[in-house]
């Protein structure tokens, strides 16, 4: 029997979930990803701030499907999709599909100021996390050697742009892990010399959270020594630092957590996209032009019944992956499909050690209880028993000893050296 061909582009939360379900059926499945691993993005900030190592939060995609002979995994970046010929083009090859799932996620958006990226990297991939980790560690090394206090301060100023969950988590972790746990091993710099800034253009951080939780998070960040700057837009970023309002903050450590743009691959589909480059899909997550091409996760613009866009979070991508896999498994025709409905179980963000905020099933949580719930959920959703065990052991080690373990500078190349 000729099996139908399903091609899945991207093995993030959405693509991997769909593939795991479809693998149980008689389909010829090809997964294409530009990396060989699935990354648990919610914990990337812990890799960037030396708390976890890359292998703790990433899993080789191939290993997930080692028992599924009907699943092929290919490493490569898809550059375009031809709807008419039903082919995916990548790295010089063409692959046919009967069903296509595009789950390519998103990248940072610099709101048209792409030149800022080289001074203010964002955090989306393992590579990003390792670059940020290296940048932070190299800055501390440079500060240790610098005797001029003005020049030294530039290495000890950390500026995070964007007060959403990622910005809040980074600011809290940098303040806590770097200041309290890493700096004591240096001799010429102290935690009191460092300064962490969190800049948000809106009137509050965690803008999608209830006011009470946003204020709680801002208060906890302040206790950690973070200066939260609200209602201010960044107008300039360069080699020396960041301009925000009438202030220029000299910094060698600028991190971008402010905007998202869907993967550029979506454009090649020649379907309607929104301002964030996401495909505007039908309520069964297929595109208007083809009922067997689905876009899921961060790459899709989907509204809930109140007309608000679904957030770019892992549960949305996973539920969409599950939904689309079931449609394909049933081979149901476009007009007989029940619309996708997101089951909102809530959102959470950590602020530092043993502190978090969250809204779970409508209940507002903060402090230790929120952090325990956050930890439990994150461990539960990591792929593979080994990763769960490793993260638990690393966390326990850190929480008992206050000593994060992953502080190696391994890619010390010319272009990564500090320029003053």
Ligand X SMILES: Cc1cc2nc3c(=O)[nH]c(=O)nc-3n(C[C@H](O)[C@H](O)[C@H](O)COP(=O)(O)OP(=O)(O)OC[C@H]3O[C@@H](n4cnc5c(N)ncnc54)[C@H](O)[C@@H]3O)c2cc1C
Q: Residue 169 catalytic?
A: yes
Stretch that binds ligand X, among 8-16, 141-149, 189-197, 355-363 (CB under 6 A): 8-16
- Using the rule CB under 6 A, is 19 a contact of ligand X? no
Element at 102 (helix H, strand E): strand 99-102
Binding to ligand X, residues 245-284 (CB under 6 A): 263, 265
Comparing CB distances to ligand X, the nearer of 167 and 241 is: 167
The only residue of 297, 352, 358, 404 in contact with ligand X, by rule CB under 6 A:
297
Contacts of 317 (CB under 8 A, 6+ apart): 12, 13, 14, 17, 103, 105, 296, 297, 298
Edge-to-edge strand list for the sheet holding 234-237 = 234-237, 241-244, 247-250
Output the six-digit token pair for 176: 């806590």
Comparing CB distances to ligand X, the nearer of 171 and 312 is: 312
- Using the rule CB under 6 A, is 35 a contact of ligand X? yes
Q: What DSSP line would sit under 281-346, residue for residue?
A: --TTSEETTEEEEEE-GGGEE-B-TTSPBPPSSHHHHHHHHHHHHHHHHHT--GGGPPPP-----E
Compute the least distance from the CB of residue 105 to ligand X, in Å.
3
The only residue of 6, 7, 10, 404 in contact with ligand X, by rule CB under 6 A:
10
- Using the rule CB under 6 A, is 41 a contact of ligand X? yes
Q: What is the DSSP letter of 273?
A: B
- Using the rule CB under 6 A, is 365 a contact of ligand X? no
Is 140 within 8 Å of 189 (Cβ atoms)? yes
Stretch that binds ligand X, among 34-42, 189-197, 280-288, 387-395 (CB under 6 A): 34-42
Q: Closest residue (Cβ) to ligand X?
A: 12
Comparing CB distances to ligand X, the nearer of 41 and 181 is: 41
Rounded to an integer, what distance in angstroms lies between the CA atom of residue 10 and that of residue 27? Answer: 18
Compute the least distance from the CB of residue 98 to ligand X, in Å.
19
Distances (CA, A) of 385 to 375, 380, 391, 392: 15, 9, 10, 11
Stretch that binds ligand X, among 135-143, 147-155, 309-317, 353-361 (CB under 6 A): 309-317
Helical axes 385-401 vs 368-381, angle rounded to 10°: 150
- Using the rule CB under 6 A, is 286 a contact of ligand X? no
Rounded to an integer, what distance in angstroms lies between the CA atom of residue 287 and that of residue 289? Answer: 6
Which of 67, 134, 144, 169 does the annotation list as catalytic? Answer: 169
Distances (CA, A) of 289 to 14, 141, 293: 22, 55, 8
Instruction: Map residue 3 onto helix, strand or coil.
Output: coil
Stretch that binds ligand X, among 27-35, 188-196, 206-214, 409-417 (CB under 6 A): 27-35
- Using the rule CB under 6 A, is 34 a contact of ligand X? yes
Binding to ligand X, residues 180-239 (CB under 6 A): none
- Using the rule CB under 6 A, is 315 a contact of ligand X? yes
- Using the rule CB under 6 A, is 317 a contact of ligand X? yes
Sort strands 241-244 and 247-250 into parallel, antiparallel or unpaired: antiparallel
Rounded to an integer, what distance in angstroms lies between the CA atom of residue 50 and that of residue 46? Answer: 6
- Using the rule CB under 6 A, is 172 a contact of ligand X? no
Compute the least distance from the CB of residue 14 to ligand X, in Å.
3
Rounded to an integer, what distance in angstroms lies between the CA atom of residue 266 and that of residue 271? Answer: 8
Binding to ligand X, residues 111-130 (CB under 6 A): 123-124
Q: Of 254, 349, 320, nearest to 105 (Cα)?
A: 320
The only residue of 21, 68, 77, 193 in contact with ligand X, by rule CB under 6 A:
77
Stretch that binds ligand X, among 49-57, 98-106, 131-139, 208-216 (CB under 6 A): 98-106
Stretch that binds ligand X, among 7-15, 214-222, 242-250, 329-337 (CB under 6 A): 7-15
Token pair 């060989």 is found at 36
Binding to ligand X, residues 149-168 (CB under 6 A): 165-166
The only residue of 19, 42, 138, 254 in contact with ligand X, by rule CB under 6 A:
42
The set of catalytic residues is: 169
Using CB under 6 A as the criterion, which residues of the chain lie in contact with ligand X when the complex forms? 9-15, 32-35, 41-42, 44-45, 77-78, 103-105, 123-124, 165-166, 263, 265, 297-299, 312-315, 317
């Amino acid at each position: 029997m000729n099996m139908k061909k399903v091609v899945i582009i991207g093995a993030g939360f959405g693509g991997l979930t769909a593939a795991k379900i479809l693998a149980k059926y008689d389909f010829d499945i090809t997964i294409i990803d530009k990396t060989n691993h699935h990354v648990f993005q919610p914990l990337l900030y812990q890799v960037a701030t030396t708390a976890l190592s890359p292998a703790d939060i990433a899993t080789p995609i191939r290993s997930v499907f080692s028992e599924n002979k009907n699943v092929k995994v290919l490493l490569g970046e898809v550059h375009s999709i031809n709807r008419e010929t039903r082919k995916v083009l990548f790295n010089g090859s063409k692959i046919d599909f009967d069903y296509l799932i595009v789950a390519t996620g998103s990248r940072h958006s610099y709101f048209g100021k792409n030149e800022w990226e080289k001074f203010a990297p964002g955090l989306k991939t393992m590579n990003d996390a390792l670059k940020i980790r290296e940048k932070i560690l190299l800055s501390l090394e440079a500060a240790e050697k610098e005797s001029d206090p003005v020049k030294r301060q530039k290495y000890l100023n950390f500026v995070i742009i964007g007060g959403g969950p990622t910005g809040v988590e980074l600011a809290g972790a940098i303040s806590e892990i770097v200041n309290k746990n890493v700096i004591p091993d240096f001799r010429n710099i102290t935690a009191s010399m460092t300064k962490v800034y969190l800049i948000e253009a809106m009137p509050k951080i965690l803008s999608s959270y209830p006011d009470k939780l946003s204020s709680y998070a801002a208060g906890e960040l302040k206790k950690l020594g973070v200066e939260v700057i609200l209602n201010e837009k960044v107008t300039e970023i360069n080699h020396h630092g960041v301009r925000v309002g009438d202030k220029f903050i000299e910094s060698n450590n600028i991190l971008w957590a402010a905007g998202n743009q869907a993967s550029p691959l979506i454009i090649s589909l020649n379907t309607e996209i929104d301002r964030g480059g996401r495909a505007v899909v039908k309520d069964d997550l297929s595109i208007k032009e083809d009922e067997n091409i689905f876009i899921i996760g961060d790459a899709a613009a989907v509204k809930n019944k109140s007309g608000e866009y679904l957030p770019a979070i892992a549960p949305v991508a996973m539920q969409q992956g599950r939904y689309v896999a079931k449609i394909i498994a049933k081979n149901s025709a476009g007009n007989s499909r029940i619309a996708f409905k997101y089951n909102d179980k809530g959102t959470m963000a950590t602020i530092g050690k043993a502190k978090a905020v969250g809204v779970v099933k409508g209940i507002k949580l903060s402090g230790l209880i929120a952090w325990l719930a956050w930890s439990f959920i994150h461990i539960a959703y990591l792929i593979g028993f080994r990763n769960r065990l490793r993260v638990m052991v690393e966390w326990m080690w850190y929480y008992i000893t206050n000593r994060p373990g992953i502080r190696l500078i391994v890619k010390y190349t010319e272009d990564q050296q500090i320029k003053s």
